[in-house]
């Protein structure tokens, strides 16, 4: 009987971990940082895009620094590029939620794993994007953040994964940093805004956390 009680106690502790994680996440998501109005002129725009779970930063090509554009696959007709960040195995082996496996989910959330930057090309603005007005200074900081996301080879070039994109309009590049349940695709975007001086959550693993600040 004592053994059964101990097993039940340990099972309760294990089951409480995700509940505690969600509660803390929701609490920190509601806390807003950089809530003051910007001091400069907000004459530039960036956008937030989501597929319902995964958040990405979309920028007009004309507002992307040349150091970020360097080595990226893009064409004359591309007006916008979106930038996402995530766990390498999850990105490459889980193109849709129907491909999700328990192994991939556990690896992404609980193991320090390699990451990729996901870059998608757009010729026109999409209606479901959320527009964010930024100052020149905020835009420069955002460009610096994106530049630092890319891992470089020994020649200083970005590392492109050939034929790894989902469609003909997106590509993957090796990234710096490791993925975990504390540093997710959405917290990466939130940190980009946070460090650029833009309104953001204190921390959030959810896509709606940052979107709610601007919608």
Domain assignment of residue 1, yes or no = no
Segment 129-157 shows an average pLDDT of 96
Domain assignment of residue 74, yes or no = yes
Mean pLDDT of the chain: 86
Range of the domain at 124: 31-211
- Regarding predicted confidence, which is higher, 146 or 105? 146
Domain assignment of residue 9, yes or no = no
The pLDDT assigned to 16 comes to 57
* Rounded distance between C-alpha atoms, residue 59 and residue 139, angstroms: 10
* Rounded distance between C-alpha atoms, residue 201 and residue 213, angstroms: 8
Query: For residue 61, is pLDDT > 60?
Result: yes
In the block, which residue shows the tokens 């889980």?
A: 94
Domain assignment of residue 3, yes or no = no
- Residue 170: alpha-carbon gap to chain centroid: 15
Domain assignment of residue 158, yes or no = yes
Our count of domains for the chain comes to: 1
Model confidence pLDDT, tens digit, residues 1-20 = 655 554 555 555 555 567 78
Domain assignment of residue 113, yes or no = yes
* Rounded distance between C-alpha atoms, residue 66 and residue 29, angstroms: 33
Domain assignment of residue 12, yes or no = no
Domain assignment of residue 59, yes or no = yes
Give the pLDDT band of residue 112 (cuts 50, 70, 90).
Answer: low
Segment 149-157 shows an average pLDDT of 96
Query: What single string gives the DSSP state of each residue in 91-103?
Result: HHH-SSGGG--HH
Model confidence pLDDT, tens digit, residues 18-27 = 778 889 999 9
The pLDDT assigned to 1 comes to 60
pTM of the model: 0.86
* Rounded distance between C-alpha atoms, residue 58 and residue 132, angstroms: 10
């Amino acid at each position: 009987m004592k053994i059964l009680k101990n097993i039940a106690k340990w099972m309760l502790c294990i089951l409480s971990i995700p509940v505690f994680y969600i509660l803390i996440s929701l609490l920190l998501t509601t806390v807003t940082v950089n809530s003051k109005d910007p001091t400069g002129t907000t004459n530039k725009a960036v956008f937030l895009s989501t597929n319902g779970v995964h958040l990405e930063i979309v920028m007009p090509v004309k507002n992307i620094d040349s150091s970020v554009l360097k080595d990226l696959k893009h064409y004359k007709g591309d007006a916008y590029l979106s930038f996402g960040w995530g766990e390498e195995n999850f990105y490459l082996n889980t193109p849709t939620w129907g491909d999700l496996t328990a192994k991939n989910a556990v690896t992404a959330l609980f193991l320090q794993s390699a990451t990729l930057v996901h870059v998608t090309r757009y010729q026109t603005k999409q209606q479901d994007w959320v527009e964010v007005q930024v100052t020149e200074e905020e835009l420069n900081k955002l460009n610096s953040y994106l530049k630092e996301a890319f891992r470089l080879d020994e020649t200083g070039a970005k590392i492109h994964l050939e034929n790894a994109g989902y469609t003909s309009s997106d590509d993957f590049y090796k990234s710096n940093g490791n993925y975990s349940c504390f540093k997710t695709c959405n917290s990466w975007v939130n940190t980009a805004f946070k460090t650029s001086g833009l309104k953001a959550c204190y921390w959030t693993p959810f896509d709606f956390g940052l979107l709610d600040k601007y919608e």
